[in-house]
Amino acid sequence: MAAITVLALTGDTVERHPVADVATLLERPETLVWVDIPECSDEAVAMLTDVLDCHPLAVRDCMQRNRVPRVRIYPHQQLLILHGPERGPSGHVHYLELDQLTGDKYVVTVHGPINPNVPIEAALRETEIVRRRLEGGRFRPGSPFELSHAITSALSHRLESFIEELTSDVWQLEQRVTGGHMGNPEEFLEEL
């Protein structure tokens, strides 16, 4: 399992910290904290509950698979549940869940639960893109909501690319059917 990543963003500075520093980092003025949790472990639940005082329903939603995207508003934070597609080797589509808890000084991203057949790198793709932009100095969010927007936009770009790829596949199959060039019917049905 991949480790929890904690980033503290202050002005033009991006620092990595251990999970134990989250409470102290939240007390720093002008600091935005991003905690990226690859899978909701006991350590993650303790941080969500004890340090960030997350609503119990938000913690529950981060621990379990949620079938549909949703937004939940709690007194001092918002929960956004999103899904991104990942094509499996046989054409099966996995929906990778990415939960975001956004508060006044932090964003917490929680991935999963992740199907064991999906590589962890696929689940972390969007947060890694945003993290690299931060650490490379190409992105400096002014608020937790700007950081959440960047992560959500990265996920939307993947969804857009996936839909374009599926549309292209369907278009090619349609061209073969309407052109009468299906070839071996059994192989064609398998492709469909």
Q: What is the pLDDT of residue 60?
A: 96
Average pLDDT over residues 158-179: 73
Residue 192 has pLDDT above 70, yes or no: no
Contacts of 139 (CB under 8 A, 6+ apart): 130, 133, 150
Residue 158 has pLDDT above 90, yes or no: no
Hey, how many other C-beta atoms are within 10 angstroms of the C-beta on 81? 19
Average pLDDT over residues 99-119: 93
What ranges in 47-140 are assigned the alpha helix state H?
A: 56-63, 120-123, 125-135
Per DSSP bridges, beta strands 13-17 and 32-37 are unpaired
Tens digits of residue pLDDT in 131-156 = 999 999 999 999 999 999 999 999 98
Per DSSP bridges, beta strands 106-111 and 32-37 are parallel
Q: What is the pLDDT of residue 179?
A: 74
Q: How far is CA 161 from CA 154, 158, 189, in A?
A: 11, 5, 25
d(CA 112, CA 52): 20
Q: What is the pLDDT of residue 162?
A: 64
d(CA 80, CA 44): 17
d(CA 163, CA 180): 26
pLDDT, mean over the chain: 89
Sheet holding 77-87, edge to edge: 13-17, 5-10, 32-37, 106-111, 93-102, 77-87, 70-74
Q: What is the pLDDT of residue 153?
A: 93
d(CA 80, CA 91): 28
Residue 172 has pLDDT above 80, yes or no: no
d(CA 188, CA 154): 34
Q: 5-191 maps to which CATH number?
A: 3.30.460.20
Tens digits of residue pLDDT in 34-91 = 999 999 999 999 999 999 999 999 999 999 999 999 999 999 999 999 998 888 877 7
d(CA 41, CA 158): 26
Q: What is the pLDDT of residue 35?
A: 98
Residue 191 has pLDDT above 70, yes or no: no
Nearest-CA neighbor of 155 among 127, 187, 188? 127
Nearest-CA neighbor of 43 among 95, 2, 99, 101? 2
**pTM to 2 decimals?**
0.84
